[in-house]
Structure 1
Amino acid sequence: MEIGNNVLMASKIYISDCTHGSYIGNEYDSDPMSLPIYRRLSVKAVKIEDNVWLGEFVSVLPGVTIGKGTIVGANSVVSKSLPPYVIAVGTPAKPINFFDFEKQRWRKI
């Protein structure tokens, strides 16, 4: 896990870089009859770049990069990487605004 400079995290944030088992629909998928503790451990790095703000109760899942200057709204689940300089919300988190550097303001996507 890599956390950049000046990252603001509200309370009750969950960040994970690992999971037990594979569930992506290929020959390596975990058998649902096996005990979870015996399912293969998978680790995928998480990267949170500089000046990111994570709101209250945000969850960040394995393999995700959150781009520089991005804001993630409260109660959002980041299951896929987010680009820099966006505001993302929801489950899964999706960008709704981006920062327009030319006009120096946030704009809707």
Structure 2
Amino acid sequence: MNIVKYFWGLRAVVYKFRFEKIGRLSYIGKPIILEGTKRVKIGSRVRIYPGVRIETHGKEAGITIEDNVAIGQNFHITSSDSDLKIGKDTTILGNVFITNIDHDYRQIGVHILKQKYLTKETRIGQNCFIGYGAAIQAGTILGKQCIVGANSVVRGKFPDYCIIVGAPAKVVKKYNHDTGEWEKIKK
């Protein structure tokens, strides 16, 4: 392990007192913002690169990052009023945003940040891959081993073993267990 990651590991040891849980052999690069981390659980062997922004808002808010998750630089995750979960063995590249919060916007003349949060269940399945710059919006449920393309804007429910790309994101391939191949979705 290089010297920088050694210091990131020491940071995780110090953060054990600020988080609900940080598992063994996890490390965290220098964060930008940590807010409400007493409701954040990080599993074992979780690697988070610098520039992370972790926020929970409200008494019921929580974030769970399961074991063996790798997260690239400049990752931003926010949760309010429910637990946002990232499944084990998932890889998230840099500049990714994941949330279970939408801002209400219907009150005319009231700044959007002063309007209430609209919380929708958001969950990332086990062994997913989320490409660079993706935005995982409130109300997104990714099944097992989903692949999200770079810069995709994702909202909705997606089945296990699919490839999702675009803005708005849609399924373009699914894994066929009978043939053992990733097959294009026919239009």
Q: Normalising by structure 2, what TM-score?
A: 0.52
Residue 61 of structure 1: how far off its partner (Å):
0.4
Identity among equivalent positions (%) equals: 29
Task: Describe how 1:3-42 pairs up with structure 2 within 5 A.
Answer: 3-21=86-104, 30-42=106-118
Structure 2: segments with no counterpart, 5+ residues: 1-83
Q: Who wins on radius of gyration, i.e. which is larger?
A: 2
Asked if 1:43 is matched to 2:119, the reply is: yes
Residue 62 of structure 1: how far off its partner (Å):
0.6
Give the distance between the partners of 1:99 and 1:2, measured in 2 at CA.
Answer: 23
Spell out structure 1 runs of 4+ moving beyond 2 A: none
> Paired residue for 1:82?
158
Residue 45 of structure 1: how far off its partner (Å):
2.2
> Paired residue for 1:69?
145
Other structure's SS at 2:173 match:
strand
Q: Determine which structure has greater relative contact order: mean sequence separation of CA pairs < 8 Å that are 6+ residues apart, divided by chain length.
A: 1
Give the aligned length: 102
Structure 1 counterpart of 2:96, which letter?
Answer: I
Give the distance between the partners of 1:21 and 1:80, measured in 2 at CA.
Answer: 18
Give the distance between the partners of 1:93 and 1:19, measured in 2 at CA.
Answer: 17
Give the distance between the partners of 2:129 and 2:152, measured in 1 at CA.
Answer: 12
RMSD: 1.1
Cα deviations across residues 34-88 of structure 1 (Å, max 9, x unaligned)?
Answer: 1223212112221001011000001000111011111000010002121111111
Give the distance between the partners of 1:96 and 1:78, measured in 2 at CA.
Answer: 13
